[in-house]
Amino acid sequence: MQLKPMTPHMGAEVLNLDLNQLSQSDVSAVKAAFLQYMVLVFRDQELSEGGHKTFAGHFGELHIHPSKAQLDTRSDPEIFTVRTTPNSQWANGEVWHTDVSCEAIPPLGSVLHVQQLPGESGGDTLFANMYLAFESLSEKMKAWLRTLSAVHDGRKDLARYNIKLKANQTYPQAQHPVVIKHPETGKELLFVNRSFTEKIVGLTRKESDTVLEMLWHHVESAPRFQCRVRWAPGTVVLWDNRCTWHHAVWDYFPSTRHAQRVSIQGTTAPSWSA
Ligand code: SIN
C-alpha cells in the first residue's frame, strides 16, 4: 500500500489496497496511517455491508448509534444510514461536528461508504484537524481552555433535525474536558463541536456562547486546518473521530445521496490533557 497525503496537515489517499483482502500487516499499516493522517481515503473498493463491518471491526467493537436504541429500532443497529433525497429538509452532518460526542465514551472512528452519489460532483465531506486547531491558539488561551469542561448534549443535535424526544425516551449527555489528550498519540486537541457542545461548565450562558462561537470561528474560517474528500464510486473513508471534525456539504439539492456509516466504539472517556 502507498500513502498520498491530501494536505500537509491531514488526510491521505491509500493506494493499492483492497479492503476485502487485508493481511495482518496491512491492518497494522492502516492503523499507523490512521493515527498519523486522521482521515484515510480508499478508492475503487467493492464493499458489501458485511465487508464494511469487517473492515471497521479491525479497529475495535462496532458502535451502536443512540438513535438506533431510541428512535429507530428496526434497521441493522451497526449501520447508520446517511440519506438525503429531494424530500429532505436537512442533510445529516451538515454542521461541523464530531460524531456523538454526547456519549460518555464517543466512537473512536467511523467508516463511511457513499453508495449513491448525487451526480458528477457535489456531496463532498470536509474534515478539520483538531490538534492543529488547538496548537494554533495563543498560549494564554490554551492554558485557560485546559482548565475547562463542557456539557455535550445529544438533544442539541436532534433539535437541528426537528426531533423532539418523547417522555419515555432519553438521549446521551456527557461532560468532557474542553482540551483532551488523544488516548493513542498522547497529543493535545480541542474537543468541543458545534453540533453537540451545549455549554462550558461554570461560565454564564452568554460567556459560554461567546467562547464557543470564537472556537467555531477559529476552526471553520481556517482552510489550512481542513481537508476535503471528493467522493467517487467505490470510495470509502475512515476517520479518527477523536481528533477531527467533519461536515457533509449539501450542495446537490434536489439530487439524492445515499451513504452508510459504521462507527467504532471508543475505548476510554476523553481525558484531561494535563
Ligand atoms: C456524517 O457522518 O456526519 C456524514 C458525513 C457525510 O455524509 O459526508
pTM above 0.85, yes or no: yes
**What is the structure's pLDDT at 23?**
96
Cell 488523544 identifies what position? 182
Q: Is residue 4 exposed (0-12), middle (13-18) or buried (19+ Cβ within 10 Å)?
A: exposed
Which regions of the chain does DSSP assign to beta strands (E)? 2-5, 12-15, 39-42, 80-84, 109-116, 125-129, 149-153, 173-177, 179-181, 188-190, 197-200, 226-229, 236-240, 244-248, 257-264, 271-272
Nearest-angstrom CA–CA distance, 140 and 212: 16
Q: What is the CA(83)–ligand 1 centre distance, in A?
A: 9
What is the atom index within ligand 1 of the atom nearest the CA of 97?
3
**Tens place of pLDDT for every residue, the chain, 274 residues?**
999 999 999 999 999 999 999 999 999 999 999 999 999 999 999 999 999 999 999 999 999 998 877 666 667 889 999 999 999 999 999 999 999 999 999 999 999 999 999 999 999 999 999 999 999 999 999 999 999 999 999 999 888 888 887 777 888 999 999 999 999 999 999 999 999 999 999 999 999 999 999 999 999 999 999 999 999 999 999 999 999 999 999 999 999 999 999 999 999 999 999 7
Pairing state between β 12-15 and 39-42: parallel
111 lines ligand 1 (CB under 6 A): no
Nearest-angstrom CA–CA distance, 64 and 56: 13
**What is the structure's pLDDT at 164?**
81
**What is the structure's pLDDT at 75?**
78
Helices (H), 117-274: 130-135, 139-145, 154-160, 205-220
**What is the structure's pLDDT at 97?**
97
What is the 3-state composition of the chain as percent helix, strand, coil, each rounded to the nearest 5? Answer: 25, 30, 50
Q: What is the CA(10)–ligand 1 centre distance, in A?
A: 18
**What is the structure's pLDDT at 72?**
65
Q: Atom 1, ligand 1: which residue's CA is nearest?
A: 93
Domain 2-264 has CATH 3.60.130.10: yes
Beta bridge partners of residue 151, listed in sequence order: 175, 199
**What is the structure's pLDDT at 171?**
85
Task: Assign residue 185 a region (left: φ > 0; alpha: ψ between -120 and 50; beta: otherwise).
Answer: alpha
Residue 246 annotated as catalytic: yes
Q: What is the CA(154)–ligand 1 centre distance, in A?
A: 16
DSSP letter, residue 243:
S
**Domain ranges in the chain?**
2-264
**What is the structure's pLDDT at 71?**
62
